[in-house]
Amino acid sequence: MSRLFGTDGVRGLANGPVITAEMALSMSVAAARVLGQAGATPGHRPKAVVGRDPRASGEFLAAAVVAGLASAGVDVYNAGVLPTPAVAYLTADTGADFGVMLSASHNAMPDNGIKFFARGGHKLADEVEDQIEAAMGERWARPIGADVGRVVAMQEGHTRYIAHLLRVLPNQLDGLKVVIDGAHGAASMVSPEIFRLAGAEVIEIGTAPDGLNINDGYGSTHLGPLKAAVVAHGADLGIAHDGDADRCLAVDAAGVEVDGDQIMGILAVDMKERGKLAHDTLVATVMSNLGLLQAMEREGIRVLQTGVGDRYVLEEMRAGGYSLGGEQSGHVIMLDHGTTGDGVLTGLMLAARMAATGRTIADLGTVMTRLPQVLVNVRGVDKNRVESDEGLQDTVRREEAALAGSGRVLLRKSGTEPLVRVMVEAPTQDEADAVAHRLAGVVRERLTL
């Protein structure tokens, strides 16, 4: 049987083969047994914070999770619809034993998912997820009487999270006009409010969730409406969230996208100037553009690169005591203020940098020059021979030598499909296209199944 947990919790079609009420109930009971007693003293009564994004399926899945936790003797703080980083923050802030978030992030509405946070609001290690899976369906001693969990509506969760973000903001946003796209998701009732409280003039789009429209034509995966709104309203900045608001992309006054690499570059320079960039180091993944690495070298900032996935970025940050990391997709982690990617915090910090310097986001974004980047997916090949096939590796070395430090080549095997991803960066788009397609041809030739 394949592993239920993926790189970011359990995710799939809600009410489909995997993400069912029965599974949510069973998994929450197992999580209560594994996480509720982890490091606890005898007689400890565990507590959990539960939140969700506004998908319709989140209503019945949250009910199943809350029922499972309470039946296993866990007191539940039901925070309702909140961003994923808010649930992580509240887990830490309340001293809860763990947190549960029901969301499928940027996926379309029919999907949903479950992710857990350990004590302190941190993502679970693989081995802990495996313990939860192993405990599902096992016999267990059910508490009775006063030992069953109690369920409380955590109505103050929204304001506690907002107050936290306003406390860490280095300066007000007075004078800025900002368009916020909430993706009809969990940011809808939080992000515009925080920006207004911080002093910005706010125009809202994608902030009317009805349970069915999350990520539907809006948000970080559909930037067209945000670009149009920023230009139409003469705004200084556009901020786009995904469904659970753990990521942020931006748009400048001309409607041009500012991606996660540029955002990390802007924030790294800002934090270094303010003495907040621990060890003068930024943690990014191998997919970050070479232009970011070159820019950070010029600014005296070291870049550590990890495998693809914000969990790997977070692991490196926690191991080395670093304060800033993220992904090109807009997941940005600021460990001084949160334990996971926080799109609302990221947007606030970008706007704060603009307000403090009087510079436009387009001007700030010139900290780095993006090299043309091409990604080609080669399907139907033996991905496991990528590193061992000498003919392919010889070709990679020749192409890298020809780029002579002005570009780079990266071959990555998919974790779920017979597929190899060929990524090439080069000084010009034509050169990047040519190298990528030459390499893709060699991958097909050498690794055919």
Contact 325, 296 (CB under 8 A): no
Alpha-carbon torsion 122, 327, 316, 131, what sign?
Answer: positive
Banded model confidence at residue 3, pLDDT cuts 50, 70, 90: confident
Q: What is the pLDDT of residue 309?
A: 82
Angle at 198 (CA atoms; ends 195, 202), nearest 5 degrees? 35
Q: What is the pLDDT of residue 75?
A: 96
Average pLDDT, the chain: 94
Query: In this structure, what token pair is assigned to residue 49?
Result: 């914070």
Report which DSSP code applies to 226: H
pLDDT higher than 90, residue 415: no
Measured distance CA(410)–CA(136) in Å, rounded: 39
Contact 27, 101 (CB under 8 A): no
Average pLDDT (62-87) is 97
Lowest mean pLDDT among 8-22, 37-51, 329-343, 417-431: 37-51
Packing angle of the helix pair 57-71, 21-35 (nearest 10 deg): 40
pLDDT higher than 70, residue 315: yes
pLDDT higher than 90, residue 412: no
Alpha-carbon torsion 69, 73, 74, 77, what sign?
Answer: positive
Strands 281-285 and 248-251: unpaired
Banded model confidence at residue 313, pLDDT cuts 50, 70, 90: very high
Measured distance CA(241)–CA(249) in Å, rounded: 7
Q: Which residues are catalytic?
A: 105
**Residue 43: left (phi > 0), alpha (psi -120 to 50), or beta?**
left
pLDDT higher than 90, residue 152: yes
Alpha-carbon torsion 262, 265, 271, 273, what sign?
Answer: negative
Average pLDDT (110-124) is 95
Contact 408, 381 (CB under 8 A): no
Q: What would the pLDDT profile of 243-301 be if each residue is shown by its tens digit? A: 999 999 999 999 999 999 999 999 999 999 999 999 999 999 988 999 999 999 999 99
Nearest to 443 by CA among 384, 402, 356: 384
Dihedral (Cα; 162, 168, 171, 174), 10-degree rounding: -10
